[in-house]
Amino acid sequence: MVDKIKNVKIYEVNVPLTETFKIATGSRKNYAGIMIEIETESGISGFGEAVPVPYVLNETVPQVEEFLKEFSKYLLGRNPLMRGEILRKLRKINAPHSGSTAVNTALWDIEGKTAGMPLYRLLGEDGKKIEISGTISIGTEKETAKSAERLLKAGFKALKMKVGLNLKEDIKRVELVRSLSKKAKIYLDANQGYSAEEAVKFANSVAKFGISFIEQPVNAGDIISLKKVKENSPVPIMADESVKSANDALTLLRADATDYVNVKLTKAGSIEEGLKIANLVHLFGKKVMIGCMVASPLLIAASFSLFKAGRFDFADLDGFLTFSESPVEGGAYIENGYLKISRGSGLSVKEIKEKYARRIQ
């Protein structure tokens, strides 16, 4: 008997952060996202998460909520294992990237639970832990040192620093973090904060500190400036906000405007598109990182499986590191600088905690 979708629940989820998350484009003190639970007639629940980010995707929580409410009407009565058909529909209607991600990962979750295996196993991969970077927000030198020391003590071997607001202060902060650890890998993320000239100056100033790469130094839509920075930087340049699809990646790669690419499930809109981007980047002989927004262990669990299947080179998946508490039962967790997955099938998420969720459908 073919299983069918009988109900779609939608939740607004808010979780306080233990510290302010500050980057070049703004700051936040809490996580605000949307979670869905797709229920089938056989009693299986698939969970998905949307993280609308205005400065990256031009999407807001209210907009994505309305999309999910409307799209849930389309889902009712359909076979949840027909992911391809549903994904084609999402693409045809130009669905919000984060909303599409929520639906797609919930369907993958159902498929994994139906098969009785974790998503990474469904994709043909193992569940071994992944080394991830720990993020240091923009702050004073004192705040930067405190964050770096905390992450190093917690076992992180890679530190990702947010920069892009003040060139001189950024250089000082990078030097400070390097002084705290000679061995740690250092990633830098400007979140579009610099002009091309500033980015080139920054890259040449911090190269001596052994930097792995500089992420999205200039405006996402300025390919000419990104290419200029790449051609004049002694440090590899990574595109992030510039790439939301395989077509975006292909445009940059053909222009030779970047060394590396950051793939985020929220930007890609589906696991399938994320894999397509990763494979494309590798075909061009370049490296690829899997990243994340501020996100819960639910979305990070899906990103874990994407990392495995896409053979990514770097992982920046600490999106819930500063959550005061996880809003879901199960999913991903962090231990000694590594990302691991709880036992269970699909995404290994058992429920959304009522404490942080407000059901809106």
Q: How many other C-beta atoms are found inside a 10 Å radius of the C-beta of residue 322?
A: 19
Catalytic residue among 162, 227, 244, 308: 162
Strands 5-23 and 314-315, how do they pair?
unpaired
Catalytic position from the list 160, 227, 244, 264: 264
Scan for tokens 């262990």, then name that residue. Answer: 297
Which residue, among 235, 189, 181, 183, has the nearest Cα to 208 in the 3D structure?
235
Residue partners of 283: CB distance under 8 A and separation at least 6: none
For residues 255 and 230, is the Cβ–Cβ distance under 8 A?
Answer: no
Cα 314 to Cα 158: distance, rounded to the nearest angstrom: 10
* Cβ contact 3:41 at 8 Å: yes
For the question of residue 287 being annotated catalytic, the response is: no
Query: Is 264 annotated as catalytic?
Result: yes
3-class secondary structure, 174: helix
Its sign, for the CA torsion 5, 104, 275, 316, is negative
Cα 84 from Cα 74, distance rounded (Å): 14
Which token pair is 148? Answer: 């770096």
- 135 vs 147: CA distance, rounded Å: 8
Residue 27, strand partner residues = 22
- Euclidean distance between CA atoms 78 and 310, whole angstroms: 29
Helix axes 61-75, 97-115, angle to 10 degrees: 40
E strands of the chain, at which residues? Answer: 5-23, 26-40, 45-50, 130-131, 134-136, 158-162, 185-189, 211-215, 237-239, 260-264, 287-291, 314-315, 328-330, 332-335, 338-341, 349-352, 357-359
Catalytic residues: 162, 264
